[in-house]
Amino acid sequence: MSEPIKTVGQGINRVDGFLKVTGAARYATDYPVKNLAHAVIFKSTVAAGEILAIDTIEAEKAPGVLSVITHQNAPKLNPNGGLRGGGLLQETKIHFHGQHIGVVVAETFEQARYASRLVKVEYSKQTPRTDFEKLEKEASTPKDKDKADIVRGDVDTAFSSAEFKLDVVYETPIEHHHPMEPHSTIAVWEGEKLTLYNGSQIVNGAQSSAANTLNIPAANVRIVTPHIGGGFGSKGGQWANLVLTAIAAKMVNRPVKLALTRQQMVNSAGLRQRNLQRIRLAATKEGKLTVLAHETTTHCAMNGEFVEPCGDCSKVMYEVPNAKIAYKVVPMNLILPTYTRGPGKATGSFALESAMDELAHQLKLDPIEFRIKNEPARDPLNGKPFSSRTTVQCLQAGAKAFGWEKRKMEPGTNQHGDYMVGYGVAAGTYPARQRDSSAMIRLNRTGKDIKATIELAASDLGTGTHTIIAQTAADGLGIPVSNIDVRIGDSALPPAAGSVGSVGAASFANAVNDACIKITDELILKSGKQFPVRPMASALMASENLKEFQTRVDAKPSPEADNYSCHSFNANFAEVWVNAATGMVKVHRFLAVTGAGKILNPKTARSQIIGGNIWGIGMALTEESVVDPRYGNFVTRSFADYHIPANLDIGTLDTIFIDEDDPITNKLGVKGIGEVSIVGVAAAVANAIYNATGIRVRDLPITPDKLIRKV
C-alpha cells in the first residue's frame, strides 16, 4: 500500500465548511429543545449604590410571564465559583451601570423583554467612580504578584545621562470584544443533571465554573459547544448569564434560552480596559538601547482586579541593560476587564513600537535597522535561550516583499495628489505554549474502508479547529481526511485545553498526534509481529482483520520547553494614505510576516492573521468604547456607534509565513497565531501615519479630527 499523501501543511478547505454555509452548524441557541421558555436580563440603571426595593408585581402579571427572579428569590449561589464580573443576584450592592439585577422568564422573548421594562427599582445612589482622568492619580500597585515591578539595572541614572531619549505617554481606550455571536445559553435540567448549550472557549472551564457556582458536582454539568461565533477572550471565562439561565430553568421547571442583546454585551462580558502607558527609551548615538521603562496605569472593577499585561512585549523584544516594567491600577464602577485578543501585547506593542519608531527618527536611523541593532541573543527577562526567534527574518522578508526601500525617511514628503502617503513598521511577539489535553481515537473498518472518530473537549471559535484536528489525524493514521469524524465541544469528551492564549492548535494537534502514535504502537503490539518499516494504523487494521480498535491519550507539554523562551514573532508593514483636506486615513496595503512554527493549514492560518490584522487596524483608527462619566454607562452600545472596519475600510492584505522548525516548543513545533496576529498592527499603522503627515498621535483611535487640525 502506498503511503497516503500528507495533509498537514496543506491549505485544505474547512471540514465543517459545508455545515456553516448551509446553516446546519449549530451554535448555542440553535438546538431544537422542546417546551423552551425565554429569559431576558434586566440591569441596574445606576453605577454605584444599593437596591432599596424592587417591585415586580406588574411584571409578574404581564402576559406569558412565568417567573421574575431577583436577589429576593434567587437560590443561594457561590459567588467565588469561577464566574467573572458578579451579577449573580446574590446582593443588593451595585458595582457598575448595567449590573444584572434580575431575570424575567416568559413564553416568548418579546413577552420577557416587555415585562422586564415593567420592573420598578428604587436605589440608594452613590457618586460613581467613572471618570478615569480624575481617578488615575489614585492608582496603586496591583494585588496580583505577577504585576509586581520588574527592574533591571539603574533606569533613572542611565536615562538622565542619555543623549538620545524619549519620555512620552501612549493611550489606548476601552474596547469591547463584540463577537458575531453574542453570549447566549440554553439550559436543560433532567433531574439533577444540567446541560448548558453555550459558547465556551474553555469547555471544561465552563463546566467547573458552572458547577462550582451552582454548588453541584461537576459530573452533573455538561457543556455543549461544537461551534462558537467568535469570542476573542470574552468566552474564555464565563459570566453570570451562564448560571442565570440555569437557575431560571430550574425555577420554571422547563428549558430556558437566554441570549444577550448587542447592547447588553457592553456591560455583561468584560472589556479591554483603558491604558495609559509611559514609555522611557534611551539609546547611544549608534542606536544601541540603554533604557527601556514601560509603566502602565489602568483601571479594574470595584469588585475584582484584572490588569492587562501591557509590558509583556517590552520584557522580551529588545536587548537593553536598564529596564523597568511596572503597573498601577485604580478601581472604578465599570464591569471587570478581561482577556481580549492579544491581551497586553496588542495594547503594549502600540506603545513600545511607536516609541521605537520615534527614537529611530530622532537617531536618524531606519526603524528596521534600529530594531535589528537591538535584537537579543537570549530572553532579556530570564536569560533563557529562545527555542527559536524569527524577528529579524520577519523584518527582512517583509521589507523585501513590501518594497520598504521606497519609504522616504523624512515625514510628510510623499505626496500623491490629495493624499499624503506613508510607510510604517512594527514588530511583535506572543508566547507559544502547549497545555494538557486528552484525546480518544476510535477506528472502525468495513471491508477495506477504515474510518476514525476523534474525540476531545476542544472548542472551535471559527478558527478551523475541526480541520486541523482532522488533518493531524489523517496523517497520523494513514487515512483520508474525508474518513475522519471530529467530535469536539462537549465536556462529556476527554478534557482538553481551551481556545485561548494561542494554546489551542498546539495542544489539540499534539494530543491527537500522540493518540495516533499510541494507537499504532498498541496495534503493532497486538499483532505480535516485527516490521522493517513502521506501518500505519490503517494498514494494521486491515492486515490484522480488526473491525474496531480504540485508545485514549493524556498529552502533556514537553518539560524541555520550560528551559527555553518559546514565542511566535511577527513584523507588520502598513502603507497609509491620508487625505490632506479631511484627515481621513486609508490603510492602502498591509503585510503581516509571521514566524509561528509549523503551519498546520495555511488557508485557515491566513484567515486568522488577516482577522487579527483587521482588528488591529480598527484599534488604530476606529474602535473606542466611550463612558459617560456622569452616569457610568457606555454611550457606544451598537455597531452604529462602536465603529469596526468594514470591507471598504480595508485595502490589500498580504501574509507571509516564515519557514520555522521548532521541536522544542512542542513535539510538532506548532505555535499559536490567533493572538500574535493583532500584536504590533496598531503601531505599524500609527507609524505610517507619522511618516505620511509628520504628526505623531499617541492616543488611539487616530480619528480625522486628530489630524485635520494639524494637516
Active site residues per annotation: 675
Which class for 38: exposed (0-12), middle (13-18), buried (19 or more C-beta within 10 A)?
Answer: buried
Q: How many CA atoms lie within 13 A of 278 on its CB side?
A: 10
Q: How many CA atoms lie within 13 A of 269 on its CB side?
A: 28
> Cα–Cα distance between 692 and 583 in angstroms, integer?
11
Give the count of beta carbons closer than 10 Å to the beta carbon of residue 374.
17
Sign of CA dihedral 196, 201, 203, 209: negative
Strands in 164-172's sheet, in edge-to-edge order, are 150-152, 322-332, 289-301, 275-283, 164-172
Q: What is the CA radius of gyration of the chain?
A: 27
> Cα–Cα distance between 127 and 638 in angstroms, integer?
27
Contact 391, 375 (CB under 8 A): yes
| 241 closest CA partner among 128, 351, 89 | 89
Residue type, 76: K
What cell does 249 get? 430553568
Strand partners, 185: 198, 258
Residue type, 358: E
Contact 120, 70 (CB under 8 A): no
Going from the C-alpha of 436 to that of each of 28, 445, 502, the distances in angstroms are 26, 30, 14
* Residue found by looking up cell 467573572 in the block: 84
One-character DSSP codes across 38-86: EEEEEE-SSSSEEEEEEE-HHHHHSTTEEEEE-TTTPPP--TTSS-BS-
> Cα–Cα distance between 404 and 424 in angstroms, integer?
9
| Strands 585-595, 650-657: pairing kind | parallel
* 82-113 as b/e: b if 16+ CB within 10 A: bbbbbbbbbbbbbbbbbbbbbbbbbeeeebbe
Strand partners, 93: 50
Strands in 585-595's sheet, in edge-to-edge order, are 415-416, 419-431, 567-579, 585-595, 650-657
Going from the C-alpha of 540 to that of each of 18, 148, 654, the distances in angstroms are 32, 56, 44
Those residues whose C-beta lies under 8 Å from the C-beta of residue 486, and which sit 6 or more positions away, are 15, 454, 466, 469, 470, 473
Residue type, 177: H
> Cα–Cα distance between 647 and 586 in angstroms, integer?
12
Contact 682, 700 (CB under 8 A): yes
> Cα–Cα distance between 322 and 290 in angstroms, integer?
6
One-character DSSP codes across 311-336: THHHHHSS--SEEEEEEEEEEESSPP
> Cα–Cα distance between 110 and 101 in angstroms, integer?
19
| 39 closest CA partner among 107, 119, 118, 120 | 107
| Three-state secondary-structure class, residue 105 | strand
